Structures are given as C-alpha cells and as structure tokens.
C-alpha cells in the first residue's frame, strides 16, 4: 500500500497530480526513482500525441537581468486561452526567458539552421580532426559527435535547462505538455544585451 507521504514526496519532485504520482508509485511498487522514470515515459507518450495539435494561443514571457543590461522576450504557444492564463504556463514562459538570458541560444531547434551553416561547421571540424591522424571511420564519428554537440549548445530546446541542468529545455516542455494536457511550443525569442 502506497502512503500519502510517498505520494506527497513524489509530487514535490515532479509537480505531477496526486493521481499520476499514486499510479506511478503503485506501478513501481513504491520505488520513487522508478516512478519518476515511469512518469517521464508516460509524459513523452502524451506529448507525442499532442505534438501535431494547433497552438493558436499563448503568452509572452519576459526577463530582465538584475544589472539591467540583458533583457529577453519569449513567446510560447499553447492550444487554449485557459492554459495561456494558467499561472504555471506563465511561470514557464518566464523561466524560458531567464534561460535565454543565461544561455544565449541562437536557434529554437535544428529546423531553423540552414544546411550551409551545418556543412561549414562540419568542414571546419573535419580539418581539426584530420590533424589527429585518426582512422577515417573513427574520424567521421568524432566529427559527427562534435557537430551535434556544437548545435546542441546553440539550439534552445537542446540546451540543458538553466534551473535544472539534469534535463533539456525540450524535456521540460514535454513535462509541461503532459501536466497541462496541451501542445506547447516555443514560437520565438528575442534577447537584448547592452554593450
């Protein structure tokens, strides 16, 4: 039997509903770490189902750094004005703006990057790896890994989330989609910096 304390503990860690926490704990036979993994998997399934749905509502989150020299606006979209007015959704917008202030991404995701930039970076890295005199198949894998790492670092959704470096921004969005029950995506962002 799962205790209310265990459910409360899991809820504090995940922010999920009491029912979701109780069900995950029952499935994991009281193991909190396994329950979190179960919840992440079910959250991904929910997010996958909702991904294609139209997002015509949303909210613009903002963040101004304490020194007044960095400011960010982030537009996040959702399906209904009910979610757009939800405090948790608005907090997400603010947190994403804070993330942009701290990490300065160049793109939202890989879809925004043009092929010329990818090819240029790949050629640059191939030149660097050539100097290491590695076998061709190993050199190719090294270049692939370095290209992915480079673009992960400049793509918003692939960056590690500033408030929880254990997850990416994309994983954070997946959690919020599962929790709020609507498709959520980042529409655009603008970062201003003095100097």
| Tens-place pLDDT, residues 87-101 | 999 999 999 999 999
Tell which of 50, 71, 86 closes a domain.
50
Residue 182, pLDDT score:
87
Q: Identify any residues that bridge with 193 across adjacent strands, giving them in sequence order.
A: 70
Q: How far apart are CA 190 and CA 115, in angstroms?
A: 23
Question: What are 122's two structure tokens?
Answer: 């790949």
The answer on 138 and 120 residing in a single domain is: yes
Query: Would you tell me how many other CB atoms lie within 10 Å of the CB of residue 102?
Result: 15
DSSP 138-171: HHHHHHHHHHHHHHHHHBGGGSEETTEEEEEHHH
The answer on 121 and 31 residing in a single domain is: no
The answer on 130 and 61 residing in a single domain is: no
Residue 30 maps to which CATH number? Answer: 1.10.8.10
Q: List b or e across 66-76, with b for residues whose CB sees 16 or more CB atoms inside 10 angstroms.
A: eeeebbbbbbb
Q: 40: domain range? A: 4-50
The answer on 95 and 24 residing in a single domain is: no
The answer on 69 and 131 residing in a single domain is: no
The answer on 65 and 24 residing in a single domain is: no
Question: Which residue stretches of the chain have pLDDT < 50?
Answer: 47, 50
Q: What is the β-pairing status of strands 70-78 and 185-193?
A: antiparallel
The CA–CA distances, whole Å, from 170 to 47, 71, 195 equal 11, 22, 30
Question: What are 98's two structure tokens?
Answer: 């804070």
pTM for the model stands at 0.71
The answer on 97 and 34 residing in a single domain is: no
Residue 52, pLDDT score:
57
DSSP, collapsed to helix, strand or coil, labels residue 63 as strand
Residue 76 maps to which CATH number? Answer: 3.30.479.20
| Best CA proximity match to 163, nearest among 83, 63, 76 | 63
pLDDT in tens, 139-172: 889 999 999 999 999 999 999 999 999 999 999 9
The answer on 24 and 96 residing in a single domain is: no
Residue 6, pLDDT score:
84
Residue 70, pLDDT score:
97
The answer on 127 and 65 residing in a single domain is: no
Residue 63, pLDDT score:
97
The answer on 119 and 61 residing in a single domain is: no
Domain count, the chain: 3
The answer on 104 and 68 residing in a single domain is: yes
Q: What is the β-pairing status of strands 160-161 and 164-168?
A: antiparallel
| Best CA proximity match to 156, nearest among 72, 86, 89 | 72
Who's near 75: CB < 8 A, 6+ residues apart?
58, 59, 60, 61, 186, 187, 188, 189
The answer on 102 and 172 residing in a single domain is: yes
| Best CA proximity match to 21, nearest among 33, 43, 36 | 36
């Amino acid at each position: 039997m799962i205790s209310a304390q265990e459910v409360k503990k899991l809820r504090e860690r995940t922010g999920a509903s009491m029912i979701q926490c109780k069900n995950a704990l029952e499935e994991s036979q009281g193991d909190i770490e396994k329950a979190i993994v179960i919840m992440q998997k079910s959250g991904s399934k929910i997010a996958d189902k909702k991904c294609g749905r139209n997002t015509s509502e949303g909210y613009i989150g903002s963040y101004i750094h304490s020194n007044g020299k960095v400011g960010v606006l982030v537009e996040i979209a959702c399906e209904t004005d009910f979610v757009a007015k939800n405090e948790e959704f608005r907090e997400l917008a603010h947190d994403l703006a804070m993330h942009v202030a701290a990490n300065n991404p160049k793109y939202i995701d890989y879809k925004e990057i043009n092929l010329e930039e990818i090819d240029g970076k790949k050629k640059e890295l191939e030149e660097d790896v050539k100097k290491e005199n590695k076998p061709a198949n190993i050199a190719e894998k090294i270049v692939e890994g370095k290209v992915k790492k480079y673009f992960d670092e400049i793509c918003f959704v692939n960056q590690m989330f500033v408030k929880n470096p254990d997850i990416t921004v994309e994983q954070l969005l997946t959690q919020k989609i599962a929790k709020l029950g609507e498709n959520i995506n980042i529409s655009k962002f603008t970062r201003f910096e003095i100097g």
